Amino acid sequence: MIEKNPNFLIILSAPSGGGKSTILAEVLKAADNIDYSVSYTTRPPRGTEQNGVAYHFVDEREFLRRREEGDFLETAQVFGRWYGTSKSFIRGRLAARRHVIMDIDVQGAAQIHTTDIPHVKIFIIPPSMEILRERLMKRATDSPQEIEKRLTIARKELEYIPNYDYLVVNNELSQAVREVLAIVQAEENRVGRYRDPIKGFLKQENQ
Ligand code: ADP
Ligand code: 5GP
């Protein structure tokens, strides 16, 4: 039997409004071997966001206690709030032979890059800054001032693109989703993920 070590983290980063959450939801619907990493954050819930589903919403004291205790694989401050990925959740899902997809910022992705956890980093951008602005306005979750702040930060985040493995332009949604799924498929077949494939292949013959 040819065996694989097939499981890895799928890191999605994008400027705010780039389409991470939308693409992620579609990828989760389409794939049956991927779980979503629910992050911890100190920001308050928005709209209908449920605790434990969108995020684990905690206060700063609890976040910093967990950070101190080494609960997080990575942490970062984004827009003045803390965000962090649960180490135990990630370990548990990978051990259960599942991929874990996560929506994290460029600082968090850089921290995961320094670990030995297998991962693939995908950056998502809309076709242009103008379209990004339009989408943020249409989403209507942020004030005009907040949108301008996010666009300024977006310019800085773009500088991190060379640190990523793949770039997906989120023009037409279904195409962007297909591209992310294709990346995951191709990554599963990396030669390095197989455990001695030649031995596995020849085993039947030698038995
Ligand atoms: P992020 O999670 O990166 O902040 P969202 O997924 O919330 O971004 O997307 C921002 C807005 O753009 C949402 O209102 C979403 O419905 C819309 N959107 C996402 N992808 C597309 C697309 N390909 N075409 C048109 N609108 C999109
Ligand atoms: P939002 O508050 O709009 O959901 O997310 C704001 C930013 O925080 C986004 O760029 C998102 O990718 C990032 N983010 C969400 N969860 C995490 C996390 O666990 N770690 C890091 N580093 N960033 C996160």
**pLDDT tens-digit series, residues 122-155:** 999 999 999 999 999 998 888 999 999 999 999 9
Nearest CA to ligand 2 atom 24: 104
pLDDT value for 3:
85
CA distance 174 to 94: 27
User: Which listed CATH number (3.40.50.300, 1.10.3210.10, 1.10.1200.10, 3.40.50.720) goes with 3-37+99-206?
Assistant: 3.40.50.300
pLDDT value for 206:
60
pLDDT value for 207:
63
Closest to 114 measured CA to CA, from 184, 11, 17: 11
Query: 164 — phi, psi (to 5°)?
Result: -95, 160
Low-confidence ranges of the chain (pLDDT < 70): 204-207
Query: 76 — phi, psi (to 5°)?
Result: -160, 155
**Cβ-Cβ contacts under 8 Å for 130 (sequence gap 6 or more):** none
- Write the CA distances from 95 to 6, 88, 98, integer angstroms: 11, 10, 7
pLDDT value for 54:
93
Residue 17, Cβ density class (10 Å: 0-12 exposed, 13-18 middle, ≥19 buried):
buried
Ligand 2 pocket mutation, candidates 20, 79, 105, criterion most atoms within 8 A of CB: 105
135 lines ligand 1 (CB under 6 A): yes
pLDDT value for 28:
97
Distance 133 CA to ligand 1 centre (A): 11
pLDDT value for 141:
83
pLDDT value for 12:
98
pTM, rounded to two decimals: 0.95
